[in-house]
Structure 1
C-alpha cells in the first residue's frame, strides 16, 4: 500500500503486549501506516490492528536489519517500527534514530511512548516505585558486565528502588543471582521485592512478593519475561484479602496526618 504523501517514520512503543494497553496515538499510527516493521512476537501482540498494511517481520538479533529497512521504506512511505514496552527503554528508538542520522533521512520522525515493564509491573505490585528509582538491564550482550556491576552497586548504595530487566536467559542464567548478591551487600535482607512475569498480559501474568533475603528462592522461576523490583528500607508489604502488595512511602507521612 503506497502512500501518496511524503514519507514518515513512527517509532512506536506498544506497551506490555495487548492493544488495550497501547495509547490511542500509537494505535492510530499503526492503523494508518503503509508498512509495519517489527519483531514477530510484538507483531503478533497487535495482530488485530494489522489489516491492509505491508508487514515486515523479523526476530531477535535482527534489530539492525529492521532499523535499516524501516529507514529505507520511510523515504517514500508511512512506516511504523514497533517496539515492546516503550521504544526508549531498551527499545528500538535509539537504534532507528542512529540509522536515520547516519543516512541523513529527510522525513518526519515521531516517537510514540508506551507503557513500560517497570510501570506495568509496579501497577501489579501496588505502589512500589513512587519514589526515586533506577532501571538496570542485566543483559551483558551490549553492555559489559563490569559496568552493570558498577551501576548495581551505585544504585544500591544510593538506596534507589531498583528495577531489574532481562534478568535471565539460557545463555545468561547466573546474572540474576550475581545481581542480587551485589545488591544484598548494601541493602537489608528484609527489603520487599516484587517479581512480575508477563505483566498485564492477561491470564499469563504471574507475580510474587518476597524479601531480598529470600528472593533467590525464586531463581528457577525467573526468566526473560520477568521484571524484578527491589524496594528500599522504607518500603513495606501490605496484605489485603490474601494479596500482598508493596508500598513505598513518598514522604507524606513526615508532613501530614492521614
Structure 2
C-alpha cells in the first residue's frame, strides 16, 4: 500500500527550478530569497565598481595628459576647481592647494623641508580618502563570497531534516519519496554557490584593479611632489636675503 501511495506523491512534485522553490519549506524559501537578493546586490555592486573605475581611469588619463603637456599648473588648478570631480584631480588639487599656502611663508631651509612634508601628507591623506570611497561596499562582496555557501548549506540541512521527518512519518524509504525533498534542499546549496562564486571572482578582480589605481595615484603624487619641491627650492633661493650664500 505504501508503494501505491508513493507513486502519486512523487508524480505530484514539480522538479523544475520554480517548482522546487514553491514546494520547499518556508525556512528554505527564506534562505533562497535571501541568496537571490544577495546575488542581485553583488551584481549591482560589480556594475557600479567597474563603471566608477572606468570613469576614474579615463579622467586620470585626461588629467595626466594636461599635467605633462607643459602648461601652467596654476591654470590647471583653476580648471579643476575647489571640488574636484575625480580621484586623480583631488590628489592634484590637494597638493597644489597646500603648496600655494606654504608659498606665503618666508624662504628658509625649514620652509623648503616643511613644505615638501606638508604637500606629501596632504596628497597622502587625499589618496587614502579617495580609495576608501572607491572601495566602498567591497566588504559586501567579500562577505557574500564567504558566507553564501554556508547560508545555502543551512537551507540544505534544514530541507534534508524535513525530508527525513517525512520519511519517518510515511514509513517509506523509497527513492520516489526521498528524492523530491532532497532536491529542494540541494537547490538551496546551488543558490548559495550562485551567489558566492561571482562574488569571490569579482572581488579579486576589482581589488586588483583598485590596487593598481592606488599605485598609479601614489606614483603621480610622488612625481608631482618632486616638481613642487624643485619650485619651492627655487622660490626659497630667490627669497634668501643677500649675503646668506656665504654663511
Q: Indicate the TM-score class for this superposition, using the shorter chain for normalisation.
A: under 0.3
- Give the structure with the higher percent strand: 1
TM-score (norm 2): 0.20
Tell me which structure has the larger Cα radius of gyration.
2
- Give the structure with the higher percent helix: 2
TM-score (norm 1): 0.19
User: Which structure is richer in relative contact order (CA contacts within 8 A, separation 6 or more)?
Assistant: 2
